[in-house]
């Protein structure tokens, strides 16, 4: 399966390409202050403490969303990266976000015999994959890790799959295209493409190889 990530062209992107790593961010540094929003009636800090340690890496199911290009790819001056991932290898790790305005309410702290929290994304752990419907256009997939160091904003981890294509926005400058290519030159078999608007579908799906 293919997954995508929209990105501005900046030092973070260039470092990601050079090191072939994803950035997993603490939730508090994302653009939505309601990440993993939950109504906690347990009278404990257990779930709050858990959420504070979660680091997330977010992807999209598509590369042609005009709003995503505007919001996350520097007003169509950035890129969208495409990976091919093995579905079996990421099963249970790469989670599909559900968009709904019905909040998760936690009344009890459920634990396994080992003492670890018992969370099921279909019931009491639904907040892990839940976002408000306003965000539905993102068509998001995400994966989590635990970041124990409270002083860190996040962590770098290796790519989930093979980086296969880099799509450039319709307003990406030739200089930035060359910069991205230079920083990805050690990664084999990448295709470089540029997108433009298909007026019939209103998607950024007119693609040419560059």
**Percent of the chain residues past pLDDT 90, beyond the cut:** 97
pLDDT of 154: 96
User: Looking at the predicted structure, is the pLDDT value of residue 202 above 90?
Assistant: yes
pLDDT band at 150 (very low <50, low <70, confident <90, very high): confident
User: Looking at the predicted structure, is the pLDDT value of residue 50 above 90?
Assistant: yes
pTM of the predicted structure, to 2 decimals: 0.95
Model pLDDT for residues 23-32, shown as the tens digit of each residue: 999 999 999 9
Dihedral angle at the C-alpha atoms of 117, 53, 84, 15, nearest 10 degrees?
-160
pLDDT of 189: 97
pLDDT of 37: 95
pLDDT (mean) for 38-53? 96
**Percent of the chain residues past pLDDT 70, beyond the cut:** 100
Domain residue ranges in the chain? 2-209
pLDDT (mean) for 59-66? 98
Distance (Å) of CA 50 to CA 26, 62, 144, 145, 152:
11, 30, 12, 11, 15
pLDDT (mean) for 13-20? 98
pLDDT of 60: 98
Average pLDDT over the chain, rounded to an integer: 96
Model pLDDT for residues 154-184, shown as the tens digit of each residue: 999 999 999 999 999 999 999 999 999 999 9
User: Looking at the predicted structure, is the pLDDT value of residue 115 above 90?
Assistant: no
């Amino acid at each position: 399966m293919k997954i995508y990530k929209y990105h501005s062209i900046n030092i973070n992107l260039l470092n990601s390409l050079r090191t072939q790593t994803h950035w997993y961010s603490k939730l508090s540094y994302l653009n939505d202050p309601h990440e993993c929003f939950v109504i906690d009636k347990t009278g404990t800090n257990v779930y709050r403490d858990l959420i504070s340690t979660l680091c997330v890496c977010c992807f999209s199911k598509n590369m042609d969303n005009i709003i995503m290009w505007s919001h996350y790819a520097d007003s169509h001056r950035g890129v969208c990266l495409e990976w091919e991932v093995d579905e079996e290898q990421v099963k249970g790790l790469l989670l599909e976000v559900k968009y709904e305005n019905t909040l998760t309410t936690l009344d009890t702290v459920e634990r396994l015999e080992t003492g670890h929290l018992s969370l099921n994304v279909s019931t009491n752990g639904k907040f892990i994959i839940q976002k408000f419907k306003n965000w539905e256009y993102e068509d998001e997939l995400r994966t989590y890790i635990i970041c124990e160091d409270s002083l860190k904003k996040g962590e770098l981890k290796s790519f989930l799959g093979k980086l296969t294509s880099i799509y450039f926005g319709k307003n990406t400058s030739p200089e930035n295209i060359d910069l991205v290519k230079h920083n990805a030159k050690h990664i084999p078999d990448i295709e470089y493409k540029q997108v433009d608007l298909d007026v019939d579908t209103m998607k950024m799906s007119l693609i040419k190889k560059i």
